[in-house]
Amino acid sequence: MDPRVERIYAAADYIKGILSAKGLQPTVGIILGSGLGKLADNIENPTVIPYKEIPGFPVSTAIGHKGNFIIGQLGGKTVMAMQGRIHYYEGYPMEMVTLPTRVMVVVGIKYLFVSNAAGGVNFNYHVGDLMIIKDHIGHIPNPLIGKNMDEFGPRFPDMTRPYDLNLIKRAEAIAAEEGIPVQKGTYFAGTGPTYETPAEYKYIRIIGGDATGMSTVPEVIIARHMGVPVFGMSVITNEAHDDYAEDYVNDGDDVVVAANAAADKMTVIFKRLIESL
């Protein structure tokens, strides 16, 4: 067997063993970005599985990422939340960056919800805004490069609709009912770990990006490769424009603070969207 596939099944079997003993079968996977781990606090009757205890699993080192799977009840469904993701800039190969997504699908999730903290390059976006991701532009190496794992999906998966149109419509309706303003735009993913230069922000805006970050696209590609519908949301944590004052500095701690402030609104939308499934 392909050693990559063996690693995926070994990790999934370990998790299944813990969950089956408790009668848990998650149907929704959630990936929580920088500063957004507090959504996990809303998961009822949580079972916590630290990444470091899972065989062959990478450990998250990014600011605001605790590095746990949280399995429990949210929106009347059993969910499996990643309290912190793995990033390419941490030095992991793309196989390891996307390992958690593959594992969640093998464990049995039927939907994937992804979130991230992002800079708003669209001039109409402001700190604290929520953006429903309608499409993305990936400047991170594609995680499907290399020998295809035929057990999981086709060599050339279609990415015409990477984010599920029905889930987007439901989320927009929920946001309107809750009185939560939302943007809808295109997410640009770069490798990081540096924040972009003003010229790069301008470039991203010109080519069609509305928000920019360092994640999400690899996990979405893997979910779509495995046939799982995806819903994505960005929290705008800084105005990523190209007309800064001379003393302006992008700060990672500020990003986490801004994400935390908006996480409650995102939780409302995620919870009700999960209820609707």
Tell me what pLDDT residue 39 has: 85
Checking if the pLDDT of 268 tops 70, the result is yes
Checking if the pLDDT of 49 tops 70, the result is yes
Rounded mean pLDDT of 70-75?
A: 96
Checking if the pLDDT of 83 tops 60, the result is yes
199 or 242, which is more confident: 199
pTM score > 0.75 for this model?
A: yes
Distance CA 209, CA 236 (A): 13
Q: What percent of the chain shows pLDDT beyond 90?
A: 79
End-to-end CA distance of the chain: 35
Tell me what pLDDT residue 66 has: 78
- pLDDT tens, position by position, 119-166: 999 999 998 899 999 999 999 999 999 999 999 999 999 999 999 999
Least confident range from 137-146, 165-174, 246-255: namely 246-255
Tell me what pLDDT residue 36 has: 73
Checking if the pLDDT of 64 tops 60, the result is no
